[in-house]
Amino acid sequence: MRITRFEFFPLSIPLRAPFVTSLGVLHEVESVVLRATTDDGMIGWGECNPFWTINGETQETCLAVGKHLAKALIGHDPADIEGAHRVMDRLIFGNNSIKSVFDLALHDIAAQAAGVPLFRFLGGNLNHPLITDYTVSLGSPEMMATDAIDVVRNGFSVIKVKLGSGANEDIARIRAIREAIGNDIPLRIDANQGWTPDTAIHILNALASSNIQHCEEPIPRWQFMQMRRIRESSPIPIMADESCCDHHDAERLIALGACQRFNIKLGKSGGLFKAKKIITLAEEAGMEVQIGGFLESRLAWTAAAHLALCSHAVRFCDMDTPLMFTVDPVVGGITYGTGGRIAVPDGPGSIARINVDFLGTPVAVV
């Protein structure tokens, strides 16, 4: 079995409300979808949501680089996923977001060919529940408290809170949320690199009694050498996000003792193959993992949910962004239930694709 055709589609969808972090404001999803076809007619799907400020890619750059990657992978055996990564990494450095769409499509085909669900192809089982948090965007303390109330009313059992603009403001935001919803529902906070090391230590100690599960990426990613000092000074566990893209980053952070947890995103790691390497390293180090992502649709999130079932080191899910879309173009895939519970399909492959009528004509075919 060989890959004979790659088709690229841009995917743009407005959000219900602006998604605001310390890195900026997003009003619309701008993703790239890939459909791969084999010589025996099997089809695999992939998707990425390039995040300019984190992985340095855009929809336009992904489409441009994707054509070069596709030419290099035409005729490739979809079961040889490790070999595909060697080809892509030899061709161009970085560009993990667009590389992830090929990884997802090849995994989808390989699992279909093996006749098993993707999670079983990855070595997992349907043996633990997946429950996502829901994110409160950065805003005034009053607005964020109101949004947190809505999250609770919608039945979610965990709330993720975007922070990162400064000590007084961020402490006030958490205190306003706690006054509005009480202290029982756990929070996960994400500074998106917005603090200095000293500010991070101050804020995390000020929030020690606020029932916070962990803090994601408190300082700029290039200051990773300061992470251990923050971890040792913080009553709240530290989770590496932007500073942990692939397994090489994870290995370095473990050696430094920089954090207790990793946030794995397929668009950072280059797909499932390298994401699994991060999980293996976390298992060996006795660390916990969160499966997160960017603003992908249920297509890519379905692959991420399959990954979440492959290890008990995966303790946290941050998979809420499809619920923020104004329209859902995905056929099949994961479904969301009460309290943020996620159901994963149990058929061969990923069992998710984009409605072809929604996609229209491919912008590039290789």
Domain shared by 96 and 153, yes or no:
no
108 is catalytic: no
Average pLDDT over residues 248-266: 98
Nearest CA among 65, 58, 81 for reference residue 3: 81
In-domain check, residue 180? yes
C-alpha 158/C-alpha 136 separation (Å) is 11
Catalytic residue among 190, 217, 246, 249: 190
Tell me: do 341 and 218 sit in the same domain.
yes
pLDDT of residue 128: 85
Residue 149 and residue 51: Cα distance in Å, rounded? Answer: 28
Do residues 19 and 102 share a domain? Answer: yes
Distance (Å, whole) CA 140 – CA 144: 6
Q: Does residue 142 share a domain with residue 60? A: no
In a domain, 210, yes or no: yes
Could you tell me whether strands 43-48 and 341-343 are parallel, antiparallel, or unpaired per DSSP bridges?
unpaired
Q: What share of the chain is helix, strand, coil (3-state, %, to 5)?
A: 40, 25, 35
Same domain, 46 and 146: no
Looking at the structure of the chain, the number of domains it has is 2
Q: Let me know if 170 is a catalytic residue.
A: no
Q: Examine the domain organization and report whether 151 and 284 are in the same domain.
A: yes
Name, in order, each residue with C-beta under 8 angstroms of 102's C-beta and a sequence gap of 6 or more: 34, 36, 46, 66, 69, 70, 73, 84, 88, 271
Within this chain, do residues 46 and 110 fall inside the same structural domain, yes or no? yes
pLDDT band at 105 (very low <50, low <70, confident <90, very high): very high
The yes-or-no answer on residue 216 being catalytic is: yes
In a domain, 319, yes or no: yes
| 207 falls within a domain | yes
pLDDT at 126: 86
Distance separating alpha carbons of residues 43 and 38, to the nearest angstrom: 7
| Confidence band, pLDDT 50/70/90 cuts, at residue 254 | very high
Q: What is d(CA 92, CA 148) in angstroms, rounded to the nearest whole number?
A: 42
pLDDT of residue 262: 98
For residue 71, indicate whether it is catalytic: no
Is 126 domain-assigned?
A: yes
Q: How far is CA 138 from CA 17, 50, 55, 154, 179, in A?
A: 12, 21, 21, 19, 17
Are residues 64 and 32 part of one domain? yes
Q: Are residues 252 and 173 in the same domain?
A: yes
Instruction: List pLDDT tens digits, range 131-176.
Output: 999 999 999 999 999 999 999 999 999 999 999 999 999 999 999 9
Question: The CATH number of the domain where 81 resides is what?
Answer: 3.30.390.10
Average pLDDT, the chain: 97
Catalytic residue among 7, 57, 99, 162: 162
Model pLDDT for residues 32-76, shown as the tens digit of each residue: 999 999 999 999 999 999 999 999 999 999 999 999 999 999 999
pLDDT value of residue 297: 97
Contact 81, 106 (CB under 8 A): yes
- Taking 90 as the threshold, does the pLDDT of residue 127 lie above it? no
Instruction: Compute the distance between CA of residue 119 and CA of residue 343 in angstroms, rounded to an integer.
Output: 12
Is residue 95 domain-shared with residue 223, that is, in the same domain?
no
Residue 366 lies in a domain: no
Question: Residue 238: its pLDDT value, please?
Answer: 98
From the list 216, 249, 318, 320, the catalytic residue is 216
Question: CA-CA distance, 17 to 9, in Å (whole number)?
Answer: 24
Which is the catalytic residue, given 7, 103, 133, 241?
241
Taking the C-alpha atoms of residue 131 and residue 305, their distance in angstroms, rounded to an integer, is 10
Neighbours of 226 (CB within 10 A): 19
DSSP assignment, residue 192? Answer: T
Residue 265 a catalytic site member: yes
Specify whether 65 is located in the same domain as 95: yes
Residue 305 falls inside a structural domain:
yes
Residue 25 placed within a domain = yes
> Which residue range is the domain that position 75 belongs to?
3-116+355-361
- In this structure, of 119-128, 190-199, 268-277, 292-301, the range with the lowest mean pLDDT score is 119-128
Give the span between the Cα atoms of 196 and 207, in whole angstroms.
16
pTM over 0.85: yes
For 20-24, 114-118, 274-278, which range has the lowest pLDDT when averaged over its residues? 20-24
Same domain, 310 and 343: yes
Q: What average pLDDT score do residues 269-295 get?
A: 98
Token pair for 6:
């790659």
Lowest mean pLDDT across 18-22, 199-203, 245-249: 18-22
pLDDT value of position 139:
96
Q: What is the CATH number of the domain that holds 274?
A: 3.20.20.120
